[in-house]
Amino acid sequence: MYLEQLLLFLIFAFGASLGSFYNVCIYRIPKKISIVTPGSSCPFCKKKIPFYLNIPVFSYFVLQGKCKYCKHPFSPRYPIVEALTGLILLALYIKFGYSITTIFWFVFISVLIIISFIDIDYQIIPDIFSLPGIFIFATAPLFVPEISFMDSVFGIMLGGGSLYLIALTYYMLKKTEGMGGCDIKLLAMIGAAIGWKGVIVTIFIGSLAGTIAGIIIMISSKIIDIKLKIPFGPYLSIGAVIYIFFGQALIRWYFATAL
């Protein structure tokens, strides 16, 4: 029992360590800074962070969320990304075991995590992730038994095509862009990985979550503006992750309820 608990902790710790690297990607890639050099440092005073103060999640709370040297507060995004990545890897292991499927889904969700937090911070989704991701994650049938080649192909077409039609219709009606091309490419990438049924679930959950979040943001900020810009990438990512873990059960529940 203790060995099993130790294994689960090590899996979480490994995921959290990767999450620390994802934080580097989230901060540096939009700024076009190398993710390799220099090493970890405070973005404010530029002092190098020693390894013993760079322990995922733990160090943030030990330092009370501040730089040891300049005392400038760090964003809570750092421990959130680290803990989230660790929990995702742990959940995948529990659901799919030690398998190639776990590795594939972890790589896919890792890309979604990086994309989502870049979108939150900068309202952009770098093509360096979404465009190659369409082709890379179209290999899903090789790693996920439930996904066929045609599922992936139709997922790309439905994912990219559906949002493109929505964006085109909105532009024709309003003469202004209502949805960025980045979201279109992201959903095409998601479709490549989880197939066309996953795209339908992702759009539904993403739209619902985005709408609820938008209402909460408008109420809390006291800004009632239907044109308020809210990044859609994180909500599409949430929808895709929910489908990976619960998609088949959701589909069975839907048809059982509908019929």
Q: What is the mean pLDDT of residues 213-224?
A: 73
Q: How far apart are CA 138 and CA 158, in angstroms?
A: 14
Question: Is 60 exceeded by the pLDDT of residue 227?
Answer: no
In the chain, beta strands by DSSP E: none
For the record, the structure tokens of 23 come out as 């934080």
Is the separation of the CB atoms in 235 and 213 below 8 Å? yes
Q: Is the peptide bond before 38 cis (omega within 30 degrees of 0)?
A: yes
What is the pLDDT at residue 125? 92
**13-34 confidence digits (pLDDT tens):** 999 999 999 999 999 999 999 9
By three-state DSSP, how is residue 113 classified? helix
Chain-centroid distance of CA 150 in Å reads 24
Question: Is 80 exceeded by the pLDDT of residue 220?
Answer: no
What is the pLDDT at residue 180? 61
Question: Is 80 exceeded by the pLDDT of residue 182?
Answer: yes
Residue predicted with more confidence, 187 or 43: 187
